[in-house]
């Protein structure tokens, strides 16, 4: 598949996606958002891909936000459709992907950049990473799910504080408030993400997909997460992965999914 703004490579069952606009600190313009959406969906469809890792090129930024130059002159209607379209073609897709997605946050993750990291299933940050939702300093608010997902991960009070002050948090604070799962030195970031991916790849892809659906269900309006869990739990019993996993355990060998 052809992309202009991102690099993709499948290595050892991982689809590694790198946003490649280092001169703009990997700010995501419309085209990049569209390409990312396509890349994630292609990864989910590719049976050889077991985990997706997303990171930014260079040592300075994961993503410094949505491309401000693109929306500076937008009208109310254009602003609303920018938000709706972005959520539909990328951010919601990432959150609901049934292939596990790890964000390797290698520097600034601001605005839409932090929102993309928040939509991923797991986040690992390098020690130099700085994260924030500075939109109110530009006269706008987060529009790619940030008001919702930051509250879900870090709590309403912290989300209010971070969004209203437009303040960046460093990697250690992000870890302390539950924004990221781990912090490592920048040189170790991709290897740490790959090691986590390797641990995930030992597990049943179908069961991981069910787990993602069940966990996400609890955060959807009008959906009973416990009922979703019951249904996903039941579905597992009809899969070859379940037969292999339980048989392998009883035969005292490693499961081969």
Q: Would you name the residues annotated as active-site residues? A: 115, 135
For ligand COA (CB under 6 A), the number of binding residues is 16
Other C-beta atoms lying within 10 Å of the C-beta of residue 79 = 13
Considering the rule CB under 6 A, would residue 144 count as an interface residue with ligand COA? no
Considering the rule CB under 6 A, would residue 66 count as an interface residue with ligand COA? yes
Cα 85 from Cα 81, distance rounded (Å):
6
Kindly state the smallest distance separating residue 25's Cβ from ligand COA, in Å: 4
Cα 12 from Cα 198, distance rounded (Å):
9
**Closer by beta carbon to ligand COA, 64 or else 228:** 64
Of the candidate residues 15, 17, 18, 24, the single one contacting ligand COA (CB under 6 A): 24
**Closer by beta carbon to ligand COA, 138 or else 198:** 138
Considering the rule CB under 6 A, would residue 145 count as an interface residue with ligand COA? no
Of the candidate residues 17, 110, 171, 179, the single one contacting ligand COA (CB under 6 A): 110
Considering the rule CB under 6 A, would residue 163 count as an interface residue with ligand COA? no
Kindly state the smallest distance separating residue 86's Cβ from ligand COA, in Å: 11
Q: Cα 139 to the chain's mean position, in Å? A: 26
Other C-beta atoms lying within 10 Å of the C-beta of residue 116 = 30
- 252's torsion region: left (phi>0), alpha (psi -120 to 50) or beta? left
Considering the rule CB under 6 A, would residue 135 count as an interface residue with ligand COA? yes
Two tokens, residue 44: 């989910």
Q: What is the CA radius of gyration of the chain?
A: 19
CB–CB of 232/215 below 8 Å?
no
Interface ranges with ligand COA (CB under 6 A) = 24-25, 27, 64-69, 108, 110-112, 134-135, 138
């Amino acid at each position: 598949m052809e992309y202009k703004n991102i690099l993709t490579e499948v290595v050892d069952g991982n689809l590694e996606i790198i946003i490649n606009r280092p001169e703009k600190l990997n700010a995501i313009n419309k085209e990049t958002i569209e390409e990312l959406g396509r890349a994630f969906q292609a990864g989910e469809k590719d049976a050889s891909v077991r985990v997706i890792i997303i990171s930014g090129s260079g040592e300075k930024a994961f993503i410094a936000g949505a491309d401000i130059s693109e929306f500076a002159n937008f009208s109310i209607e254009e602003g609303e459709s920018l938000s709706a379209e972005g959520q539909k073609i990328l951010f919601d897709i990432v959150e609901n992907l049934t292939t596990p997605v790890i964000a390797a946050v290698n520097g600034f993750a601001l605005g839409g950049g932090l929102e993309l990291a928040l939509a991923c299933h797991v986040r690992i940050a390098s020690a130099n990473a700085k994260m924030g939702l500075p939109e109110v300093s530009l006269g706008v608010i987060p529009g790619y799910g940030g008001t919702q997902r930051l509250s879900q991960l870090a709590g309403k009070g912290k989300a209010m504080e971070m969004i209203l002050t437009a303040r960046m948090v460093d990697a250690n604070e992000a870890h302390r408030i539950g924004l990221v799962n781990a912090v490592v030195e920048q040189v170790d970031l991709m290897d740490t993400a790959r090691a986590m991916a390797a641990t995930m790849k030992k597990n049943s892809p179908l069961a991981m997909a069910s787990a993602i659906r069940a966990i996400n269900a609890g955060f959807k309006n009008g959906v009973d997460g416990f009922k979703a869990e019951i249904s996903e739990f039941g579905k597992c019993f009809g899969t070859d992965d379940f037969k292999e996993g339980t048989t392998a355990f009883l035969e005292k060998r490693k499961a081969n999914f």
